[in-house]
Structure 1
Amino acid sequence: MINFWPSTAALYCGLLALGLGTAHAQASHPEQRSLERGKEIALLAKKELGGQLQQAMANGGPTTAVEFCNENALTITRSLSEQTGAEVSRVSDRPRNPKNQAAKAELAYIAEAKLLLAANEPVKPLITDKDDHAVGFYPIVTNGLCLQCHGQEGTDISADTLKIIDARYPNDEATGYSLNELRGVFVVSMPKR
């Protein structure tokens, strides 16, 4: 299994390691087409969110990045949804923003992905059907950059950053992560073609 993005090239934890394998199914297979289309959309989300977040980090470090995400992340994903014609979201079983709480099917995928990661197994995306849509789940795995806002309080996350997190996200559940843990999932819901 080849990672969708090598972790060294990741710009942002929320956009890292979607883990799409290189299995070459027939291009005419509808599930494979949906998997590839979802991958393209997730790459676009990575580019948009990751590039802007990297700029925020360069301008002011993790505190500025937290403020940027609080003010812009949902707007950016909504804009991408309009641009692509697919619903794009990021969800987690431990969300920072309650609007990113994973639903039942997403929680099942997250639980399975965590088991695979704990066993040092690759986590692959999943395509499911929901009514007339194909729904793709793409794993988001933490790297060192992620830990500045999602790692251990007092070691990875500075006191200043934690203060901003507490102010912007009073119900935050998204700290305490270590390297190579599942942080969440990109969900791409696409009309079937």
Structure 2
Amino acid sequence: MKNFFLLIAVFIFASCQKEKKEFQPIPVEESVIATNEHEGKKLMETHCYLCHSPNAVENEGRVAPPMIAIKARYIDKEGYTKEEFIAAVALFVENPTEEKAVMYGALKKHGLMPKQAFPEGSVEKIADFMFDYQIEEPTWFKEHWEGHGNENWTQSGKPYKVTEKEKTYADIGLEYALGTKKLLGKNLMESIQQKGTLEALAFCNHQAIPLTDSMATKYNATIKRVSDKNRNPNNKANAEELKYIAQFKKDLATKQEIKPVVIEKGDKIQFYYPIETNTMCLQCHGKPEQIQPEVRTKTLQLYPKDLAIGYSENEVRGIWSITFKK
């Protein structure tokens, strides 16, 4: 049962049963600096960095390997070609299984990545970026990787640098939403790993809103998580929010690219972005038959009017509703 609760989002990609090849690094003269923004980079930061952050420390609070570990294993060590790497990533993410995994240490430490839905073509764009360009490395990674028999390792790919652009309101809102999501997600995952789902419920009850408010103070904004099927009465969506929840549900169901909603209201900006479910969420928000009886009993003790159940993977459970000044 403990292993079930460790189903945390771990990006462990598929391996084709093929002969290992010697990796040929990109020649120095080809390592030019990128001048145009690569869509895969932004997609990676949006969809992957919650669990695969390059900033988390090596052994404390990390819930998944950093993205550079995936690149180092598949590209720099195994010698996958670009086409093979993109195919392996897409195959695994489509339906993660232990049989497809090759990063056995990460699988044992963190558990298997939950199945999730991504906008059409986004996984391929992320893999394309990872292959062609150098990505962020934690300060500890080189020593860690070389300590596992990979001496004199240097990351492959071209340096990545683009001209700084002025942030749009969508960029700002997304920064606030993902920053808050990262803080909540990290604390929730640690609670599940260390104490189990029942204690994670207590964490949500006591800490979710205060932590959200702390990020609102940091960003000088109003930050809410709201839903059409709320658990906490304070998270009930209003009429405008319900409209955009319905729109995001439609977009996700049809695998459309999810784009933030930005509305100018006088001197303020109203920003909306979806909150999506994965396997971990279903421990408390799944269908009644999926939820452990003791978990459901505890939930109703904390939230007698709870509506936030009945979900499957990859559904919109609510939205970020964020207001900030222009």
Q: Which has the higher contact order (CA 8 A, sep 6+)?
A: 1
Cα pair distance change 1:135/1:17, threshold 3 Å: farther
158-167 or 127-136, larger mean C-alpha shift: 127-136
Matched, 1:81 2:216: yes
> Secondary structure of 2:217's partner?
helix
Equivalent of 1:173, from 292, 307, 316?
307
Matched, 1:5 2:70: no
| Equivalence for 2:280 | 145
Map 1:95-110 → 2, pairs under 5 A:
95-110=230-245
Is residue 268–residue 323 contact of structure 2 (8 Å, CA) maintained in 1?
yes
Matched, 1:121 2:256: yes
| Equivalence for 1:59 | 194
Structure 1: give runs of 5+ residues left out of the alignment: none
Cα-Cα RMSD: 2.7
Q: CA deviation at 1:17?
A: 8.7
Paired residue total: 180
Q: CA deviation at 1:139?
A: 0.7
Structure 2: give runs of 5+ residues left out of the alignment: 1-38, 53-62, 64-115, 126-163
Which structure's CA Rg is the greater one?
Answer: 2
| Equivalence for 2:323 | 189
Matched residues in 1 for 2:262 and 2:117: separation? 17
| Equivalence for 1:164 | 298
Runs (4 or more) in structure 1 with deviation over 6 Å come to 16-19
> Secondary structure of 1:76's partner?
helix
Is residue 276–residue 318 contact of structure 2 (8 Å, CA) maintained in 1?
yes
Q: CA deviation at 1:62?
A: 1.4
| Equivalence for 1:44 | 179
- Between Structure 1 and Structure 2, the one with more strand by share is 1
Matched residues in 2 for 1:52 and 1:164: separation? 20
Q: CA deviation at 1:27?
A: 4.0
> Percent sequence identity over matched residues?
36
**TM-score, normalised by the number of residues in structure 2:** 0.51
